[in-house]
Structure 1
């Protein structure tokens, strides 16, 4: 099964199966032209909504038939008008469902719809949380259908996200678009706990300050780790360490302030060294407050007193 997504101006998404769609689902400003059976086979919520609309459609159809039967020959429209009306009624009979405030919006619904059709979806730390929330909203449980989207996303979280500090931070950032549902499912807290656990067991030198200076030093060391133009193991380790430092702090600084504050408070409860907490705070501040650096801090009282005494001497 392939899916064709036209330009954003069209605001329509068609499933290229070769069969005419029998249901339209509106999410945000996008209309998805799909098929009832694949959706009903995976989503309890869509199954219920489609069944409910089917009952209403049946009642409407019976009413229209009775109205036609009672028409007299004088009231009958000409053939052209009648045919046009029939076509309009057939369009109206196509199932239409609107899903306002769908978690993750139309992009996430597209992923859930593809899953219903059996299309392999590529999960990542940035997409798994919105898809997990969408699966909850659509009631794509294991009880309703085996190997459903809830279990698939939960496995990915456990096996690929929670085991990585960097991926956990990325996933936490993605929670912001589905915050209410992610909170109620406990995903936000699980990610924060995962980050705190990984950070407390990470090599403290990765959090050295100042970050930029540390990166420069690491790059300098890596450039010296060449012997007659041949890359050594020391150089490879230095580059890997540099990349870890850069990626960790860059991802951390992308968090919204409320999530960042919650993360810092959790890190404090893990008895992490003050230097690590300070490095996180300074990196976050540097992104949003130009000119912020550790060198701008006022010297402590003890160091000031020491400087005065030395000057007097």
Structure 2
């Protein structure tokens, strides 16, 4: 029905009421005039009857001034007084009840009066259905204050909690259950709550002044899993804070503070993304310090569960700068709080610290790839990242990748600025693969490349030293068992020396070009091994025979030869 048709019908209804009896009372409801008969109203309303007895006509004309009444609802009440048909809906039932209660339209004044009929409709047609109950609560928001002394709000809350206890998915379906149906909380088939064409009314449409006390009572009832309560609260914040119009500053601030009060504290119940988003908005909206601190504490407890994109929320700008890295102060605050919290907890579980260290490396890489990240911010963030990885992460490859990404996205840096960026790179903590990549990286300053090559050389020496130790232990075992001869020992030595030569030629040809990657003949096995030992200081350049070597491995070989003579 169009607005013009509805207005025509309303005018016809008013005319029919005026025609049935002489109008002698004029009332304006939001600038809409009503011409009514006092006696017709007095038969149903004890309040109108009392004012007529006192002859207080001015009061009678303003009888509804204290109520938030719309013309359509008052017209329905007037039609009832004239004996005409009325139609109750979940949209108007609370307002009708409010007017009927205020005007005293009860059974003492007249049988089958409006208050009783509206109460019956509420009980039989509204409360049994979730959708109708939510819709009535939302639509009657402004009228419920006048009904506080009759406990109508409590009836609404109890009705909704009872239904949600029976099926918590009325508060919102968990994401993890959308693809496969859970066996829990199966609804009564006769109610058909989850047929394809059925959509439940969402509590997040209810005003905050009703939503918050409802959720507080829901939490206290302990009849609904906390995960569903969290789901509803998070959806409420998204609608009224994250996605709300920026002009509604005061309302958004009230909502974010209420959301913080409603959210539980146990670790892992709330997604990190939501907590980071809430903390950022609480700062933008200048919410109370208790609100901001509450979100910060929750983040502190589960920072190791966050993703790099979650940390980006804390560092991004506002409005038009929402995608840029503006400030990392909040990131530093959260990280500091995390270490302080777990230090006070005396936690021996290093897994939390390892995850946060990896998180910071990944976030540093993410931030470094953005041209909006300034050099000073990168330096601050790199300091935090390096400090968090000390004694926790074995390799510094993550730091190297972040430095490389920053140099790639900030090609205008001077040589001194590049050195400032690279000062956080611990070359000796790079893996062999990291060394290989860094040694060929033309974006790195030449001094850093030299340091990488030296570190790589030391790694090769350490690797060979470890292999020598393994061979020595193996030779000792085989010597005791008497199962092998000199030739097996020499084969092991040849394999190891060839591996060393291969590493030298492949990764450091510019430094150790004197080595040649060729297969030695069996007759030259001993001389190759002498070269390896000389590299590690076991022989001097003036040594001319095997007997001149004083290393332990040579002694073991001599012992083996003697055993088989």
Aligned pair in 2 of structure 1 residues 107, 28: CA closer, same or farther (>3 Å)? same
Aligned pair in 2 of structure 1 residues 18, 187: CA closer, same or farther (>3 Å)? closer
* Partner of residue 278, structure 1: 230
* Partner of residue 289, structure 1: 241
- 1-structure distance, mates of 2:131, 2:220: 20
SS at match of 2:28: strand
Shift of 1:193: 1.3
SS at match of 2:61: strand
Q: How does 1:194-213 map to 2 (within 5 A)?
A: 194-202=159-167, 204=169, 207-210=172-175
* Partner of residue 121, structure 1: 86
* Partner of residue 182, structure 1: 147
Kindly indicate whether residue 191 of structure 2 is the aligned counterpart of residue 240 of structure 1: no
* Partner of residue 131, structure 1: 96
Shift of 1:200: 0.7
- 2-structure distance, mates of 1:174, 1:205: 19
SS at match of 1:38: helix
2:215 touches 2:229 (CA, 8 Å); kept in 1? yes
Q: How does 1:19-98 map to 2 (within 5 A)?
A: 19-53=21-55, 97-98=61-62
Aligned pair in 2 of structure 1 residues 203, 282: CA closer, same or farther (>3 Å)? closer
Q: How does 1:2-21 map to 2 (within 5 A)?
A: 13-14=14-15, 15-17=17-19, 19-21=21-23
Larger deviation: 143-152 or 167-176?
A: 167-176
* Partner of residue 147, structure 1: 112
1:200 touches 1:270 (CA, 8 Å); kept in 2? no
* More contact order relative to length (CA 8 Å, sep ≥ 6): 1
Shift of 1:253: 1.7
Please say which structure displays the higher CA radius of gyration: 2
- 2-structure distance, mates of 1:178, 1:281: 25
* Partner of residue 213, structure 2: 262
Aligned Cα root-mean-square deviation (Å): 3.7
Shift of 1:139: 0.5
Shift of 1:288: 1.7
- 2-structure distance, mates of 1:147, 1:256: 33
CA deviation digits over 1:188-226, x for unaligned, max 9?
A: 121011111111111548733349x94xx58xx9xxxxx
Shift of 1:242: 7.0
Kindly indicate whether residue 204 of structure 2 is the aligned counterpart of residue 253 of structure 1: yes
- 1-structure distance, mates of 2:204, 2:7: 35
* Partner of residue 163, structure 1: 128
- 1-structure distance, mates of 2:94, 2:303: 47
Aligned pair in 2 of structure 1 residues 130, 209: CA closer, same or farther (>3 Å)? same
Shift of 1:34: 1.4
- 2-structure distance, mates of 1:143, 1:97: 24
- 2-structure distance, mates of 1:254, 1:280: 11
Paired positions, count: 245
Structure with the larger strand share? 1
- 1-structure distance, mates of 2:22, 2:144: 36
Shift of 1:159: 0.8
- 2-structure distance, mates of 1:17, 1:202: 52
Larger deviation: 154-163 or 295-304?
A: 295-304
Q: If the length of structure 1 is used for normalisation, what is the TM-score?
A: 0.66
Q: Please, which runs of 5 or more residues in structure 2 have no aligned partner?
A: 182-191, 245-269, 277-298, 307-350, 359-392, 395-565
- 2-structure distance, mates of 1:153, 1:188: 16
Shift of 1:107: 3.0
- 2-structure distance, mates of 1:290, 1:119: 47
